[in-house]
Structure 1
């Protein structure tokens, strides 16, 4: 009877359905945020489902399992068509019937379709912006029109629109009065305290290989650094997107940086941790970030970040974070900032390491998930504690 009661109570737990275009096994900022939030919600006893697309954008010909359980998360994958920027997947509506709340991630087809389809599914919804769709200036005029029309209309159908950075709040509060701020969490255990304990002229950059990450600018900076001191080395880590590994290999060779730059495509966290253990610095030349998640992960490892002057990174700097802001479109300027960052960590390695790790600690997922649970509760989704085994 006790087992039956436990099962009955577990089945009565609220169901949170996350909808996101890409999920595990793909790795990236968006995927990591959804995975960490889902795991933390499962820990708190909720039932959690993720509805996502059935192929990775980097391998559209390989179908992933239509259903899978990952870390206690019910993962459902559905077919899609169209472009990776706006993938069309109407079957999403089939997987919402038992949802107590639908949580949509990013501003894309799902955001618009579930808003327009609210008359059919009748589920309360929240959405997290994840930077919207302003990551590049491409089609900027069209994006502004879309944002002020369809995005504005869609946002009206959500109970809350969650901006995950100050820049997102500034953008979305123009069209949605129900916008609230919950900054992304950071998996501070993933690479915790793993940077080299001896100052080394080695840099790591981590992220999806996208044009807006401006890896070309970072390679230009490496040309300057390597010419000044052959000890400088950069490891580029990430997964393919609108740039492929072959594209970056050509860029590296064109600058004569084959010995100064390592390229690591799709490697797992233990391998990334190994690269971090040989480095002292993190760099990002990205033109746009929704929040700056990877910079905080780097800080949790003890890497000293040098970041391009974009809104998300500047917002972190304004909080007196131990990081440096530079103009990566100016190779000399960014190279000087990287050299100064190395000098800072070389002068007091232990103190700087402690400051970096301490600055990342308040962004733990345990804290951020609690803020989301509070938001869910404010919308009528009851709190739920896991039944003890």
Structure 2
């Protein structure tokens, strides 16, 4: 079996969907399933990368232009759909790549699997754009052999388009063998700084708390000067693997004011590192987290949120250790070795 994976960005940019795709290909390889990746030359970090091999994975990079910033188009993808050496096309995004693969399915005759990753529906794009895309994709998704929802929230959205849908929550590659020691009252958040993350709001709250937050991720659509107004925010920019591991290992708490998440990969990675979550109660986080593992705080109520956080961080070491253990055990269920067979089952089903 050979699977051709499509996504927007891929390694050497680490994080997001590209990280998931790379680890899926490597995990499938251990099970005897071949895979290659097709992505855009221009990555999320703004850098342009060339085709080649990364970690033994063949990567084809395509030129693109934006019909709209949420609908990048890469005409070169069409040629890849018609390759004779592949059995399955797996699209790890909604938008042009999924729509083109599905509309052309009667011609290329490949099985098509689409992973949701939130799609346009986790952005703050105008409602009219979402309605237009909802109507259009309701037609294209009828041709899909299987939709993989990465969260319960995505499942609830996309089940209205098709009954050929299954939930496989995003696995994580970051693994700790034991609970690491923490630096007291250290806070972090992880992920690209997009509007739905509400990092300025996080800054407002932690200015009142009087503690620093290490913010790992590239700014996207945010005014950097606005973020720099908040003395509590330590903007690290893009953080590669060694520094990322160290940040998770040392941080006592993981914080997020995100109004929406497609899944919440950063939260699960933080739980694997036994960081105690203090996060916004959005739908994705409420699916991943219970009161046994962490805390929900409404960051939009800045003064109340700050007071709640001050109270949380004053808890006893015994309580902290209980929460860390619960986080660690919950996150282990998301490791790739415990999830890869779910993807193989999907592939086997569509090839029947």
Tell me, in whole angstroms, the C-alpha distance in 2 between the residues paired with 1:48 and 1:272.
27
2:120 is paired with a residue whose SS is coil
User: TM-score with structure 2 length normalisation?
Assistant: 0.93
1:361 correspondence with 2:332: yes
Instruction: Could you tell me which runs of 5 or more consecutive residues in structure 1 were left unpaired when the two chains were aligned.
Output: 1-13, 227-231, 382-389
Tell me, what secondary structure is at the counterpart of 1:283? strand
Aligned length: 349
Whole-angstrom CA distance in 2 between matches of 1:155 and 1:218: 37
| Deviation string, structure 1 residues 280-327 (Cα, Å, up to 9, x no partner) | 100011111111111010011010011112110112235x55021111
**Conserved in 2, the CA contact under 8 Å of 1:299 and 1:359?**
yes
Rounded to whole Å, the distance in 1 between the matches of 2:138 and 2:275 is: 40
- Larger RCO, structure (CA 8 Å, separation 6 or more): 1
Question: Which stretches in structure 2 are left out of the alignment for 5+ residues?
Answer: none
Q: Partner residue of 1:120? A: 107
- 2:11 aligned with 1:24: yes
How many Å apart are 1:334 and its aligned residue? Answer: 2.3
Give deviations 1:16-70, integer Å, cap 9, x for gaps.
00111111122232122111111111121211011101111432xx53212x222
Aligned partner of 1:8 in structure 2 is none
CA RMSD in angstroms comes to: 2.0
Of the three residues 104, 115, 124, the one matched with 1:137 is: 124
Give the aligned partner of residue 77 of structure 2.
92
Match of 1:157 among 143, 152, 156: 143
- In structure 1, what is the Cα distance between the partners aligned to 2:136 and 2:212? 46
Distance change >3 Å, CA 63–CA 235, structure 1 → 2: closer
1:10 aligned residue: none
- Larger-gyration structure (1/2): 1
Residue pairs, 1:279-358, within 5 angstroms: 279-317=251-289, 321-344=292-315, 346-358=317-329
Matches within 5 A, 1:191-210: 193=178, 195-198=180-183, 200-210=184-194
What corresponds to 2:54 in structure 1? 70
Distance in 2, matches of 1:89 and 1:126, equals 19
Alignment CA distance shift 1:155-1:299 (3 Å): same
Displacement of 1:94 after TM fit? 2.0
| Cα separation, 2, equivalents of 1:321 and 1:380 | 41
Q: Distance in 1 between matches of 2:179 and 2:244?
A: 10
